[in-house]
Amino acid sequence: VTARAAASDARLGAIRALLIDMDGVLVRGDQLLAGATDLLSWLERRGIGFRLLTNNSTLTPELNSQRLAGLGLTVPAERIFTSSQATAMYLNNHGVAGQSAYVIGEIGLRSALADIGLETPEAPDATDWVVTGLDRHVTYENLKTAALCLQRGARWVATNSDSSLPVEAGLVPGAGALQAAITATTGQKPGVIGKPEPHMLAMAAESLKVPPDRTAMLGDRLDTDIAAAAAAGMTSILVLTGVSNRADLSESAVQPTIVVEDLPSMMGAWPK
């Protein structure tokens, strides 16, 4: 056992909560990845709390849970934390009940914002907030209204800043690409809640009542999952079944605490 392996062993042994990215970690497209089902029962047996964390703002936790169930993975909605929920929690902490927001986003974001009592008019002249996520039905009118609300003093919060999304056909515009149109218009930039910012991870660890230094983030992307863990002061585990590969790793300024090939090797690397 090398000194470096022993140090990783000690860090993993101290972990009481695991935050798990979904795409590229548990699932890829419509396929469950090896070890996904075993991982959740393995965590339960060890008494390690977990949350599934996704930057995807379009689905509610219930819809995410149904999607996973359709692939054969049972995860209760309460264990799933989306960037939309994190955004709603952030706004709720700012005491926004009764205030207004112009929203660009789908059901995942709209439903999370409805839960905190924020008014979300369809075509306002001015609002207290502009809240943006991915919206696959966005129109010029939507972008124009958001830009005008910002010019009239609204504060801007975004679920995440992913510029693109990988789908089978290639890369398609993400929430960050829509936001870029508003930034180009107004010169303003949103406060971002999702990964690579630390807010969402900090909220998830807090909900599990585990301090950041005993929490690990497991993800497949250096630029979001691993960067967010570093910003939140958490251990990070890069799994090589998704976006980032060994070549990316050797060129990256952001380095994970631990690198594993897949989920079975991650469970194998854990101290007994």
Active site residues: 21, 23
Q: Is 24 in the site for Mg ion (CB under 5 A)?
A: yes
Nearest Cα residue to 240 out of 216, 265, 271: 265
Closer CB to Mg ion, 56 or 215, in the complex: 56
Applying CB under 5 A, the span of 70-78, 118-126, 214-222, 263-271 interacting with Mg ion comes to 214-222
Nearer to Mg ion (CB atom), residue 23 or residue 128: 23
Kindly tell me which of 135 and 162 has the beta carbon lying closer to Mg ion.
162
Torsion on CA atoms 182, 187, 191, 193, rounded to nearest 10: 40
CB-nearer residue toward Mg ion: 24 or 133: 24
Measured distance CA(260)–CA(267) in Å, rounded: 9
162 contacts Mg ion (rule: CB under 5 A): no
Best CA proximity match to 166, nearest among 2, 11, 27, 3: 27
Residue number closest to Mg ion, CB atom: 24
Q: Is 23 in the site for Mg ion (CB under 5 A)?
A: yes
In the chain, which ranges are continuous DSSP H helix?
3-13, 36-46, 61-70, 83-93, 107-114, 140-151, 175-186, 199-207, 227-232, 246-251, 263-269
DSSP result, 198-217:
SHHHHHHHHHTT--GGGEEE
Site string for Mg ion, 51-90 (x = CB under 5 A): ----------------------------------------
Other Cβ atoms less than 10 A from the Cβ of 87: the count is 30
- Residues near Mg ion (CB under 5 A), total: 4
With contacts defined by CB under 5 A, name the span among 17-25, 205-213, 247-255, 256-264 that binds Mg ion.
17-25
Contacting residues toward Mg ion, per CB under 5 A: 21, 23-24, 220
